[in-house]
């Protein structure tokens, strides 16, 4: 966590639905937040493994879907904004 500076986010390796995730603002908070998130992940998913990554405040989550036919022909289905989230889980997608 100290290599990428704060804030960071600790996330359950086998998680989903916003469970087992904590935003950590300072180095002093890391150990407690890590333990809390790992325990939540273990109880929810049966796996307490975690990873840490840089937390990006106010991010944009844009997805692009592509289809290919296996012969080299590929088309895209335009982009969609998936930025409206609650508890780190998408709520609205706009295509």
- Predicted model pTM: 0.65
Among the listed residues 12, 3, 13, 14, the one whose alpha carbon sits nearest the alpha carbon of residue 33: 12
pLDDT of residue 85: 67
Give 61-89 pLDDT, tens digit per residue: 788 989 999 999 999 998 888 777 666 66
pLDDT of residue 75: 96
Paired with 10 in beta bridges are 22, 52
pLDDT of residue 22: 92
Triad 26, 32, 33: Cα angle to 5°: 70
Give 3-51 pLDDT, tens digit per residue: 778 999 999 999 777 789 999 999 999 999 999 999 999 999 999 999 9
């Amino acid at each position: 966590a100290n290599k990428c500076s704060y804030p960071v986010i600790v996330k359950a390796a086998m998680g989903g639905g916003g469970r087992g995730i904590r935003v950590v603002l300072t180095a002093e908070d890391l150990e407690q937040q890590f333990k809390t998130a790992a325990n939540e992940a273990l109880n929810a998913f049966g796996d307490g493994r975690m990873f840490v990554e840089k937390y990006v405040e106010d991010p944009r989550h844009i997805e692009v879907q592509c289809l290919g036919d296996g012969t080299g022909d590929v088309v895209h289905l335009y982009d969609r904004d998936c930025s409206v989230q609650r508890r780190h889980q998408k709520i609205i997608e706009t295509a």
